[in-house]
Amino acid sequence: MKFPTKTTRGGVVAAVAALALVLAGCSSSDDDTDAGATAGGGDDGMATEANLDIVFLPKNLGNAYFDTSNAGGADAIAEFGGSYSEVGPQEASPDAQVSYINTATQQGVGALVVSANDPAAICDALNEARDAGVKVVTFDSDTNPECRDLFINQATAEGIARIQVDLIAEQIGDAGQVAVLSASANATNQNAWIEMMEEMLAADHPDIELVEVVYGDDDDQTSFDKTAALLQTYPDLKGIISPTTVGVSAAARYLSTSEYKGQVMLTGLGTPNQMRAYVEDGTVEAFALWNPADLGYLAAYAAKALIEGDITGAEGDTFEAGDLGSYTVGADATVLLGDPYVFDADNIGDFDF
Ligand code: RAM
């Protein structure tokens, strides 16, 4: 029950996200950015000395998950009087983020907050940014640890894998063929979760057969088409796990008007707003996620703490993250947000993001 009660933020996600979106919109205006910096300057002039110019770089633009996480980041940055901006590619391909990293380096921003499409492809660009004095925080999907200062992890890979395995096993009666519809083939986060799900299925669910992992590239149409192809290829398919908000909502849309609705079970990681209709019409029983707004909010405060020299990313470093309270850096310069949370017909009405 940590998700809705960890902070008041979980209960007022709609209001916070809406506010953050407004603030994000405002941050493109110099006047408003200056006003924010002046207000933040009440903190002993810190905002004028430290470079709190923080750039969020999602896997791709147009993904509702990142709209929410980055709105959380904008919310935090407005609170501490920094300047928020977001840049990113249209497609979640391995090196599509490199040019945005290089531009941020040239602009001399204070920090980059990045969800990586590939563990290695952006490493050199990130290290050039760090050499130039930019703090690099990954969130959601990590690069290799030597290419960033800190990784803000939404939940442990074990926890994220376990919840999806438990959900699909329960929904298909612990037996039969399942497939995975993932994001892009190189995504660090999805690949870590899938590897763990494979191990858990093999160890604990001998009657479930994982027949294939396919990739929808975090693109709605590709994910929709890959769902159709899976159902054609595997007529006995009992379930689909889609550990991506883009994939699971596209798969739900396909299933909802197909003959497979209610026959082939679907779970994974989704946003309540994208999945609500499919829970209500019986296509989907339950799925999981964390609070993306809190993730972006925490990443922004971590970037601030790095910029201001409060932390270096060493294990045991602690920092304050506004409404979320105090966090401690763990092994491998990783900070953990919390636990994943399950959404179903009973609770989905409580969430708006
Ligand atoms: C998609 C992205 C993101 C992932 C979520 C669950 O939005 O792939 O990286 O964390 O799904």
Ligand 1, atom 5, lies closest to the CA of 244
| pTM score, whole prediction | 0.88
Reduced DSSP (H G I as helix, E B as strand, rest coil) percent helix, strand, coil of the chain, to 5: 45, 20, 35
Task: Determine the pLDDT at residue 108.
Answer: 98
What is the C-alpha to C-alpha distance for residues 304 and 285, in angstroms, rounded to an integer? Answer: 40
Please provide the CATH number assigned to the domain covering 12-155+291-350.
Answer: 3.40.50.2300
* pLDDT attached to residue 4: 52
How many angstroms separate the alpha carbon of residue 245 from the centre of ligand 1? 6
CA 270 to ligand 1: nearest atom:
6
Residue 24 has a pLDDT of: 38
157-289 shares the fold of 12-155+291-350: yes
Per-residue pLDDT of the chain (353 residues; tens, 9 = 90+): 345 533 444 443 443 333 333 333 333 333 333 333 333 334 444 445 899 999 999 999 999 999 999 999 999 999 999 999 999 999 999 999 999 999 999 999 999 999 999 999 999 999 999 999 999 999 999 999 999 999 999 999 999 999 999 999 999 999 999 999 999 999 999 999 999 999 999 999 999 999 999 999 999 999 999 999 999 999 999 999 999 999 999 999 999 999 999 999 999 999 999 999 999 999 999 999 999 999 999 999 999 999 999 999 999 999 999 999 999 999 999 999 999 999 999 999 999 99
In 3-state terms, what secondary structure has residue 316?
A: coil
Instruction: Give the distance (Å) from ligand 1 centre to CA of residue 182.
Output: 9
**Residue 216 to residue 109: CA distance in whole angstroms:** 33
| C-alpha 52 – ligand 1 centre gap (Å) | 26
Nearest residue (by CA) to ligand 1, atom 6, is: 244
Span from the CA of 76 to the centroid of ligand 1 (angstroms)? 21
Q: What contacts 229, CB < 8 A, 6 or more positions away?
A: 214
- CATH class of the region 157-289: alpha beta
Report the atom number in ligand 1 closest to the C-alpha of 115: 9
Extents of the domains making up the chain: 12-155+291-350, 157-289
R_g over Cα of the chain = 20
How far is the centre of ligand 1, averaged over its atoms, from the C-alpha of 47 (Å)? 32
The amino acid that residue 39 corresponds to is: A
Predicted pLDDT at 3 = 54
CA of 332 to the centre of ligand 1 (A): 22
Centre of ligand 1 to C-alpha 115, Å, is 9
Predicted local distance difference test score (pLDDT) of residue 49: 83
Bridge-based pairing of strands 208-215 and 265-268 is unpaired
Q: For residue 220, what pLDDT is reported?
A: 98
pLDDT value of position 48: 57
Q: Which residues line ligand 1 (CB under 6 A)?
A: 59, 63, 65, 115, 140-141, 183, 187, 189, 218, 244-246, 269
Q: Which one of 152, 180, 190 would you pick to mutate in the ligand 1 pocket, going by the greatest count of ligand atoms within 8 A of its CB? A: 190
Two tokens, residue 254: 């396909």
